Amino acid sequence: MCGIAGFIDFKKRSDKETLLKMSDTVRHRGPDDSGYEMLTSPFANIGFGFRRLSIIDLSPAGHQPMHFEEAGLTVIFNGEIYNYRELKKELEGFGYSFHSGSDTEVILKSYAKWGAACVEKFIGMFAIAIFDKNNDRVVFFRDRAGVKPFFWYWKDDLILFGSELKIFSKHPEFRKDINYNALSLYFQRGYISAPYSIFENTRKLLPGHFLQIDLKTKDVDEKKYWDVVDCYNQPKLNISYEDAKSETEKLLLSAFQYRMIADVPVGVFLSGGYDSTAVTALLQKHSSKKIKTFTIGFEDPKFNEAEHAAQVARHLGTEHYEHICTYKDALDIVPEWADIYDEPFGDISGIPTTLVSKIAREQVTVALSADGGDEIFAGYPKYFNAMARIGQIEKLPHFLQHLLAKVIPASADHDISIQNKRSKFKDYLCAGSEVKKFDIISQAMTFFETQQLFNNEIQYLNTPFDEGNSLNNANDMLSKFQATEYKTYMVDDILQKVDRATMHVSLEGREPFLDHRIIEFASRLPTNFKYRNGIGKFILKDIVHEYVPRTIMERPKMGFGVPLESWLRKELKGLLLDVVNEDTLKQQNIFDTAQVLKIRDSYLQGKITEFQRLSYLFLFQLWFRSWN
């Protein structure tokens, strides 16, 4: 795992000193080695910067930027190509020779052989930048699921790119102008959906896409090479449940074992839930050594899964590490929040994720996480709750729904410390797909409410939630929810959380459930293999029960969180009042000050029922104080 940074400056203002500053901003992503090179082009100054966390081929032969002089290629790369050994053998059959044992060199030779189509051969997580000197081109790639982040900025003949937004702040030409439309997305959902970013002229490369920059013409062309929607739109499999279960387990084992490939110690985050237990159980079953597992707990039983994780670890025989965190441990992360998540980010479970990453880093350099299981195998209760609510409302004739949407008035003077149920219901009735209905049900604030929150005029931005009709009629409502969240909540919340938390402590986080072969198969399974008799993740749970008894596994689902709601009334009240106060709000001139103070004061008086509104404001203000 590494951090990459760079620029393409058509006005040739950028120099190596700037490149060094940009790259070293993410030293935490790669403390083991660094590389900074200005690349030769008649059309632009090109800088490739790199920070290395050595995982595969720890020798200097794995240094980046890496060159393939014969083909005029240079690469920097963040991530892992897990099937690099197989690709290496294939390329050797075509006459290519290798000078290292790294997957980076395999990327170079693969691009030389197959061009941009090489990305379709990769099994892995990656953000890749390649300078193709012979064709006057720079190409950026992002992995299918979006495990690895990739930001890019394009203004005034200057392209900046990198693994984290903080990189750009070190370039003197970068302008930190807030994109208020994107900020509205944050207040709706707690994250900013790709391709948007908190800053103007700054974007996230979409998962499953690559970006080509023609250095002669300055043309920028973003192309899709993979989309989970295409997987779901394939014909469903005609397969027995037992055959599906057997094939699912084979795919899981292959994906899990691929992610154990490393030249450094590897461990697993174990919460004791079905997803992390599946990873641990299959790996331990097929390993001659004890797998290292890590969990954290809290003294408050509402947030403590440590006992359950320890019980699973004992049954499977892992080498288990447990750390019970005090609330001081968790509170100490809050001042670091804006540095870890350098874009407004509302998922407070990033705190325990950072803590467990710190504990794991004392023993290993790589840790496997179990994210994606809920999206792939239908595990979130919110899916089933939304299906029930939509089913109830759909009992109303459609003509009556349309009539209600027309006659329900907007509330121009609504107090947004309280949910505007009328506005939410109106949005629901106007929604054009089941997916959009699900989005509206799940939102912390409606778009209409964010318009009331901001002083500036806000424009609506389309996201995959507005593309629900791209999923064909072979997909039922649950499948549509799963496919859309694979492209939204999973990538822009869950994966961002894990990437920043692990990289903050120089730990490589790997996501074994996000091997694309798993979703390509699972998306075609009949829904009742995944959701049956009110039970989500049915087939995955059935597999886990082959390794761990039901009596250990079956318990209510727990979130991975911390009690921020009580902290902001007690331990963090001073910080809340410091960052959410009248003088600061008026100076910012972003929000309607009166509305924000209503939200804050309603919370402090114990009246507010929509705590996410307050927490998103608080976390945004922490970010704003650090980055503006």
In angstroms, rounded to a whole number, what is the distance separating the alpha carbons of residues 265 and 255?
Answer: 18
Please state, in angstroms and rounded to a whole number, the distance separating the CA atoms of residues 514 and 146.
Answer: 9
Tokens 């009709």 correspond to 469
Inter-residue contact 85 to 100 (CB < 8 Å): no
User: Cβ of 583: how many Cβ atoms within 10 Å?
Assistant: 8
Phi, psi (rounded to 5 degrees) for 549: -60, 150
Distances (CA, A) of 62 to 28, 29, 142, 148, 383: 18, 16, 21, 19, 44
Contacts with 519 (C-beta within 8 Å, 6 or more apart), sequence order: 145, 228, 231, 372, 376, 486
Q: Whose CA is closest to 81, among 56, 48, 52?
A: 56
Facing residues of 34 across strands?
51
Q: If 0-12 CB within 10 Å is exposed, 13-18 middle and 19+ buried, where does residue 169 land?
A: middle
Catalytic residue check, 2: yes
Position 310: which residue type?
A
Instruction: Name the active-site residue from 2, 118, 231, 325.
Output: 2
Interhelix angle 421-430/434-442, rounded to 10 degrees, is: 170
Secondary structure letter of residue 56 according to DSSP: S
Give the other-Cβ count within 10 Å of 208's Cβ: 23
Nearest to residue 51, comparing CAs of 102, 107, 103, 4?
A: 4
- What's the rounded Cα separation, in Å, for the pair 99 and 417? 62
The one-letter amino acid at 504: H
Q: Maximum distance among all alpha carbons in the chain?
A: 73
Phi-psi region at 208: left, alpha or beta (left = phi > 0; alpha = psi -120 to 50) = left
Which residues does residue 293 pair with via DSSP β-bridges, in sequence order?
A: 268, 320
User: 272 vs 278, 322, 378, 515, 553, CA distance in Å?
Assistant: 9, 12, 18, 22, 8
Give me 294's structure tokens.
């890590």
Long-range Cβ contacts of 66-69 (<8 Å, 24+ apart): 66/102, 66/104, 66/105, 66/108, 67/108, 68/105, 68/108, 68/109, 68/112
568 near 614, Cβ under 8 Å? yes
Residue corresponding to tokens 């699900």: 438
Q: Decide if 553 contacts 545 (C-beta within 8 A).
A: yes
The catalytic site residues sit at 2
